[in-house]
Amino acid sequence: MTHSRRDVMTIAGGLSVAAAAGAQAQTPKTIFPVAPTFIPIVGTSDLYPVRRIYCIGRNYAAHAREMGSDPTREPPFFFQKPTDAIQNVKIGEVADHPYPSLTKNYHYEVELVAALKSGGRNIAMDKALDHVYGYAVGLDMTRRDLQRAMGDEKKPWEIGKSFDMSAPIGPIHPVDKVGHFTKGAIQLSVNGQVKQKADLSFMIWSVAEQIAKLSEAFELKAGDIIYSGTPENVGPVVKGDVLLCQIEKLPDLSVKIV
Ligand code: MN
């Protein structure tokens, strides 16, 4: 049996209607546009779309101690920043970073960031790194006075951690170019003076462990990025300060507080 010309046109027409309906389902008509968040990827014009920003707290023993907790007993804990807290910083650029409202004690935290290309629930530790697309240098900027005040009152950290522009980040480097990061120097300088200096191997919970632990609490998905915690010697900045963040094997990230 052969299809008549009319059958073929019906089939083709049906397919195109189905395709249009599929596209429409993915991008429904909204009453106004909300900008999606992307991070550039090194070596391509393709962009990495951000779904969620997870941050791990107190993941270096010396930093846990300086924040007043016992690193030997505390399990990893997580908080989130809103997706649009991302501030993309180009390689070689010193990006203006606005001193935020309400704080008098604005702190830097340099961190390795892992960007996922896939996810799941209850991910086994030995499979966890298979979900990583790449890595970047990030800053978990913090209104320390507000974070502490809220902590003292047993209230959420949002105002101290999850505000606009609180997540400066460099471009993502795919794993197939830079590999995974289990060790290597991590350092932050202010106006040329070294403030934070440690090694990624000092993390209490590795990136693989972070993914495994996170996936017990949340279904991880492609587009989720994880700020993996900061080493000790966090500290304040004022307007005019220039921050230089360095992680071995990744290009520097630099911002000026304005
Ligand atoms: Mn942090």
77 Cα–ligand 1 center, Å: 11
Higher per-residue pLDDT: 7 or 49: 49
How many residues are present in the chain? 258
Assigned fold of 38-257: Fumarylacetoacetate hydrolase; domain 2 (3.90.850)
Half-sphere exposure (Cβ direction) of 173: Cα atoms closer than 13 Å: 20
Share of the chain above pLDDT 70, in %: 90
142 Cα–ligand 1 center, Å: 8
Query: What separation in angstroms does the CA of 196 have from each of 18, 82, 238, 258?
Result: 55, 26, 17, 21
141 Cα–ligand 1 center, Å: 8
The pLDDT, as a whole number, for residue 185 is 98
200 Cα–ligand 1 center, Å: 14
206 Cα–ligand 1 center, Å: 14
pTM of this prediction?
0.88
Q: Identify the DSSP state of 99.
A: P
Q: What angle do CA 200, 176, 185 make, to 5 degrees?
A: 20
224 Cα–ligand 1 center, Å: 16
Residue 174 pLDDT greater than 80, yes or no:
yes
Distance, CA of 33 to CA of 176 (rounded, Å): 35
The pLDDT, as a whole number, for residue 73 is 64
The pLDDT, as a whole number, for residue 71 is 76
Which tens digit of pLDDT belongs to each residue from 98-139? Answer: 999 999 999 999 999 999 999 999 999 999 999 999 999 999
Distance, CA of 140 to CA of 105 (rounded, Å): 14
187 Cα–ligand 1 center, Å: 14
**So where are the chain's domains?**
38-257
φ/ψ of residue 239, rounded to 5: -55, 135
